[in-house]
């Protein structure tokens, strides 16, 4: 595995890297390739250059074309497409979602929040299903939910950091607030932010609960790795709430000791809770009713 791909995951997403250690070597490599691509797309959107929209649109053009790339991350992701390991459509949806981050962001309502989260993370959930060699299309619904849940956790964790770059992902229908007010929050503003954070947390919990039901569709080894990723990432939001909205003061992380605790919980659930190993064909349709019906998810017809 190229070190730059592996190191990107290890440096930028320690929680997911921790979970990926429990995948087989080939699958872990595929996941690292996808993560590297996603990371670079995010980094382009986060730069201050005026050419970032152009660069992202060039990536979309490249994914649609047969041109041979020179950069290693593009070479590797194109291999996954050409081998039909993943579809190009979710990759394009991901970039289209990130394109909205190239301007000053302020989400208007819950529907827009969920649709955005589908584009930038639910699409990744679909591709992860494919990388994990999961052929049951029904399970993609649950994979989308895990992606959305993790994205909502990201938004909850990064409220302050996002405000510093003129982005507000808390829906305008929940709280009307400018980035500058989030950064220089007084007691009144902090109370409103706490209320919005609480809403965001409980919204993420709905999607985590649904994602949990889909774990049984995964191959046994991948099932444990994704269970661990779910538990570990979910812990970020729960820690924020437990510490009385620490996200309004700092970017919360999961320590090494906490990761070991998450591993212990994952092992216990995996061995004791037999429900995790039985497929559930009862996905909550309401969780996806605001997602654009032209998205790749609905093209799957499951």
Q: 101, exposed or middle or buried, with CB in 10 Å at 0-12, 13-18, 19+?
A: buried
Please report the pLDDT score of residue 109 as a whole number: 96
218 touches 278 (CB < 8 A):
no
Q: Which residues have a Cβ under 8 Å from the Cβ of 112 and sit 6 or more positions away?
A: 171
Span 78-125, pLDDT tens digits = 999 999 999 999 999 999 999 998 877 889 999 999 999 999 999 999
Q: How many Å apart are CA 257 and CA 261, to the nearest integer?
A: 6
Percent of residues, the chain, with pLDDT higher than 90: 77
Q: What are phi and psi of 279, to 5 degrees?
A: -65, 135
Q: Domain spans of the chain? A: 89-299
Among 163, 233, 208, 185, residue whose Cα is nearest residue 20: 233
Q: How many Å apart are CA 293 and CA 63, to the nearest integer?
A: 22
Span 53-77, pLDDT tens digits = 999 999 999 999 888 877 888 889 9
Q: How many Å apart are CA 76 and CA 61, to the nearest integer?
A: 17
Span 273-292, pLDDT tens digits = 999 999 999 999 999 999 99
192 versus 66: the higher-pLDDT residue is 192
9 versus 266: the higher-pLDDT residue is 266
Beta partners for 105? Answer: 167
Among 288, 302, 279, 300, residue whose Cα is nearest residue 119: 288
Q: Which residues have a Cβ under 8 Å from the Cβ of 125 and sit 6 or more positions away?
A: 140, 143, 144, 145, 146, 147, 148
**Mean pLDDT score across all residues of the chain:** 91
Q: How confident is the model at residue 234 (pLDDT cuts 50, 70, 90)?
A: very high
CATH code at 89-299: 1.10.600.10
| Cα angle 53-252-141, degrees, rounded to a multiple of 5 | 60
184 versus 15: the higher-pLDDT residue is 184
Q: How many Å apart are CA 136 and CA 139, to the nearest integer?
A: 6
pLDDT at 2 > cutoff 90: no
Q: 76, exposed or middle or buried, with CB in 10 Å at 0-12, 13-18, 19+?
A: buried
**Within 10 Å of residue 251's Cβ, how many Cβ atoms?**
12
266 touches 228 (CB < 8 A):
yes
97 touches 116 (CB < 8 A):
yes
């Amino acid at each position: 595995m190229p070190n730059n791909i592996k190191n990107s995951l290890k440096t930028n997403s320690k929680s997911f890297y921790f979970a990926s250690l429990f995948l087989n070597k080939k699958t872990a490599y595929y996941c690292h390739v996808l993560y590297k691509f996603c990371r670079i797309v995010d980094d382009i959107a986060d730069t201050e250059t005026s050419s970032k929209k152009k660069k992202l649109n060039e990536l979309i053009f490249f994914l649609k074309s047969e041109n041979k790339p020179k950069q290693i991350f593009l070479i590797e992701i194109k291999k996954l497409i050409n081998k039909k390991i993943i579809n190009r459509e979710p990759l394009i949806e991901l970039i289209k979602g990130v394109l909205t981050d190239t301007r000053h962001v302020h989400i208007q309502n819950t529907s827009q929040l969920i649709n955005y989260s589908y584009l930038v993370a639910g699409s990744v959930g679909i591709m992860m299903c494919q990388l994990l060699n999961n052929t049951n299309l029904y399970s993609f619904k649950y994979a989308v939910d895990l992606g959305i849940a993790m994205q909502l956790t990201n938004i909850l964790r990064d409220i302050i950091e996002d405000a510093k770059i003129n982005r507000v992902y808390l829906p305008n229908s929940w709280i009307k607030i400018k980035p500058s007010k989030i950064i220089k929050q007084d007691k009144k503003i902090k109370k409103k932010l706490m209320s919005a954070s609480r809403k965001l947390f409980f919204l993420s919990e709905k999607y985590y609960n649904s994602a949990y039901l889909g774990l049984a569709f995964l191959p046994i080894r991948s099932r444990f790795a994704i269970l661990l990723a779910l538990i570990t990432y979910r812990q970020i939001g729960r820690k924020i709430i437990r510490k009385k909205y620490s996200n309004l003061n700092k970017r919360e992380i999961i320590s090494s000791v906490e990761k070991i605790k998450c591993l212990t919980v994952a092992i216990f659930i995996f061995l004791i809770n037999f429900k995790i190993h039985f497929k559930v064909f009862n996905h909550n349709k309401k969780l996806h009713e605001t997602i654009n019906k032209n998205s790749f998810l609905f093209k799957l017809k499951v």
